Amino acid sequence: MKATLLEGVTVEEICAGFEYNELEGKGLFGWNGKLTIQPEYQRNYLYAEGGGEKEKSVINSVLQGYPIGLLYFNKVGDRYEVLDGQQRITSLGRYLKNLFSVKDSSGKPKFFDSLDEVDHKKILQTPLTIYICEGAELEIKNWFKTINIVGIPLNKQEISNSIYSGSFVTLAKEYFSNSQNTRLQIWSSYVKGNIKRQEILRTALEWVVKSSADDEVDEYMSLHRADENVDELKNYFEKVIAWADETFTENYSELCGLEWGRLYEEYHETDFDVKEIAAEVKKLYYDEFVTNKRGIFEYVLKFLSTGEEDTKLLQVRLFGNAEKRKAYDRQTKLAKSENISNCPMCALVKGQNSKKIWKLNEMDADHVTAWSKGGATDEKNCQVLCKYHNRFKGNN
């Protein structure tokens, strides 16, 4: 790869003909149309997020005469595309278009058009330092993968998008990273993540390949790189969402971010009564002993399809030290008076432990009536067993 330093090009020249696409949230062209600001493998424009502090700081740097860092352009024929510097160029372009303001020294907001003559000129005439890169596509993209010098490191999906750029990524982003997509509202009930950072796309890919391993996602993207549609990806994702939405008819914030792809694969062929599901979920949701609310949904699916009570998913609250101590004292006092073991199960067995008095730390607290059979986690339902018998009985 060849890199040539280009000095003296000004902000005014680079921003000539700048267009910002509100709908796609990206800067399109600059340098009188010679420069593509956001090529396919670039991430979306992020500097306007969170109140726009980042784009404002680009303008303040220029006004104070601080350098805004190196820009890297890739030469493709007689055109250029931005390899690194897209966020900064878009900030400059947006400011020149009066799309946001910065505060001047007296704290007043100033749009570009309201700056005084000196600051106006200062911005337009600021020289930029640009490296022009020429080389094979893959070589440049691999290099791009390693730079990450803009402050917000690329996440793994942004990197994959850059490596496998092509028609598939274009179409996938059009659907999965388009903040105007009307499906977004229903997706957000089930999928976590920032649409602009490609996190929904990432989830869709993980579901369709049925794995969250980077290698599997990359392999799929490589295989489909030149596809003219993303139907398989789209249809599978929407199928999973539709199934989740039909299966759980009531809204709970804990539904968001569950492993829907896996749950769909495991349970979509079972015929559930959705009213029964809703009733079971509600019962557990308001059970104060269930400490892991996110686990309720899978617990109910498993229970209603197989009858298995997988209480690990619920992390049912265990007895505290005070409850254990009281049960220990009560049982030990009685055991001593009757000359039997303070573990009621040891006491039942004829053998060397049938009269053994265990120490507190040799015993575990246990539900007399299992939680899953309606037994509460309170003092009256607490007994202590020796560690062996507690394991033997199971934890419920």
Which residues would be at the binding site for Zn ion (CB under 5 A)?
A: 343, 345-346, 386, 389
The distance of closest approach from Cβ of residue 388 to Zn ion in the complex, given in angstroms and rounded to an integer, is: 6
The distance of closest approach from Cβ of residue 352 to Zn ion in the complex, given in angstroms and rounded to an integer, is: 11
Nearer to Zn ion, 68 or 384 (CB): 384
Q: What are phi and psi of 283, to 5 degrees?
A: -60, -45
The distance of closest approach from Cβ of residue 391 to Zn ion in the complex, given in angstroms and rounded to an integer, is: 10
The distance of closest approach from Cβ of residue 343 to Zn ion in the complex, given in angstroms and rounded to an integer, is: 3
Question: How far apart are the C-alpha atoms of 116 and 78, rounded to whole Å?
Answer: 37
The distance of closest approach from Cβ of residue 344 to Zn ion in the complex, given in angstroms and rounded to an integer, is: 8
Question: Cα-Cα-Cα-Cα dihedral of 289, 290, 292, 297, to 10°?
Answer: -170
CA distances (Å), origin 151, targets 90, 131, 180: 15, 19, 27
The distance of closest approach from Cβ of residue 342 to Zn ion in the complex, given in angstroms and rounded to an integer, is: 9
The distance of closest approach from Cβ of residue 328 to Zn ion in the complex, given in angstroms and rounded to an integer, is: 13
Pure H helices in the chain: 11-14, 53-63, 86-96, 117-125, 137-147, 156-163, 167-176, 184-190, 199-209, 214-223, 231-247, 260-267, 274-285, 296-306, 321-338, 344-348, 387-393
The distance of closest approach from Cβ of residue 322 to Zn ion in the complex, given in angstroms and rounded to an integer, is: 22
Nearer to Zn ion, 1 or 334 (CB): 334
Q: What angle do CA 282, 285, 288 make, to 5 degrees?
A: 135
The distance of closest approach from Cβ of residue 355 to Zn ion in the complex, given in angstroms and rounded to an integer, is: 12
Nearer to Zn ion, 55 or 364 (CB): 364
When computed from its CA atoms, the radius of gyration of the chain, rounded to whole angstroms, is 31
Nearer to Zn ion, 221 or 346 (CB): 346
The distance of closest approach from Cβ of residue 389 to Zn ion in the complex, given in angstroms and rounded to an integer, is: 4
**What is the DSSP secondary-structure string of 88-117?**
HHHHHHHHHTTSS-EE-TTS-EE-GGGS-H
C-beta separation of 225 from 168 below 8 A: yes
Nearer to Zn ion, 96 or 384 (CB): 384
C-beta separation of 115 from 130 below 8 A: no
- DSSP for residue 277: H
Dihedral sign from CA coordinates of 204, 209, 214, 220: negative
Nearer to Zn ion, 48 or 343 (CB): 343
Q: What are phi and psi of 179, to 5 degrees?
A: -70, -5
Nearer to Zn ion, 281 or 365 (CB): 365
Q: Which residue type does 312 have?
A: K
Question: How far apart are the C-alpha atoms of 207 and 143, rounded to whole Å?
Answer: 29
C-beta separation of 179 from 196 below 8 A: yes
Of 213, 216, 215, 185, give the one whose Cα is nearest residue 200: 185
Question: How far apart are the C-alpha atoms of 366 and 364, rounded to whole Å?
Answer: 6
- Extract the tokens encoding 205: 């890919």
Nearer to Zn ion, 34 or 393 (CB): 393
Nearer to Zn ion, 43 or 367 (CB): 367
Nearer to Zn ion, 292 or 395 (CB): 395
